[in-house]
Amino acid sequence: MVVRVLMNEVAPGAAGPGDVVADAVLEELYAYPDTGARAWVRANMVATIDGAAAGNDGRTGTINTEADLVVFTLLRDLADVVLVGAGTARAEGYRRPGPRGAQRRARALAQGRAAHPALAVVSRSAHVPPLLAAPEPDRGQVWMLTCQEAGEEALERARAVLGAERVLVLGEAEVDLFAAVEALRERGMPRVLCEGGPRLLRDVAAEGVLDELCLTVVPVLAAGVEQRITAGAGVDQVLVPRLLLEGGGTLLHRWIRP
């Protein structure tokens, strides 16, 4: 897949408009900022030209492209933890994250980070998606981010499946996402990658913890009734464009909070 730069204000010395980028340069263009002092929350979403966040079968996999898959894999490799809503994890058939690419895995281990990204599931009910319940060799750990309203019975079930230390109760009636991000940082996971779904992305933005949106726009008109990349009550989150790439007609953006 040939990926070209259309705009680059994140690492101007790495590549300019019209340049074809190799893997090492692409990694530089998507590098996390310094997370020594605080976490950085990056969201990654995909949409069609007309704004559908999934294909007409309700799954994002239907609209994924080769360029999108390249960036999707890179962003997972760079992250410490993938943040996802329980409904999206069930609908998309999420599994525990696999190992990073060989070079990124070696670099992560040298930095004292895990060999695999972890997966943090946000659920008010504390129900663990079935595909995430069983341990899998050479894959990342699963964390449950939930709230008191889930009830002690559901919390105990989650603890029995995932381990008590990986079930974090953050808030009363809702999951406190600000506290969740801080809890992940305290546990050595400051590089957070939110993969949605639309309601979780809306909540992350509304609570002021969204630092960046990586948005893939695929060259497809979908029509239909699929929702946008955010859903729920209105928010007013300002982001500015800092990177725009193109590969096979797919547009790859980085939008960052000013």
Residue-wise pLDDT tens digits, 27-39: 999 999 999 999 9
Q: Where are the domains of the chain?
A: 39-256
CA distance 35 to 231: 29
- Look at strands 212-218 and 250-256 and give their pairing: antiparallel
Q: Is the pLDDT of residue 57 over 90?
A: no
The better pLDDT of the pair 215, 56 is held by: 215
The better pLDDT of the pair 58, 187 is held by: 187
* Confidence at residue 31, expressed as pLDDT on a 0 to 100 scale: 96
Task: Write out the two tokens for 154.
Answer: 């559901």
CA distance 188 to 39: 10
Q: What is the pTM of this model?
A: 0.95
Q: pLDDT tens, 67-121?
A: 999 999 999 999 999 999 999 999 999 999 988 888 888 888 888 888 899 999 9
CB neighbour list of residue 126: distance below 8 Å, 6 or more residues apart: 144, 146, 150, 151, 154, 155, 157, 158, 167
Distance separating the N- and C-terminal Cα atoms of the chain:
31
Class of domain 39-256: alpha beta
Q: Is the pLDDT of residue 192 over 90?
A: yes
Backbone angles phi, psi at 121, to 5 degrees: -100, 125
- Going by C-alpha positions, the residue among 9, 2, 144 that lies closest to residue 84 is 144
Residues above pLDDT 70, as percent of the chain: 100
* Confidence at residue 198, expressed as pLDDT on a 0 to 100 scale: 95
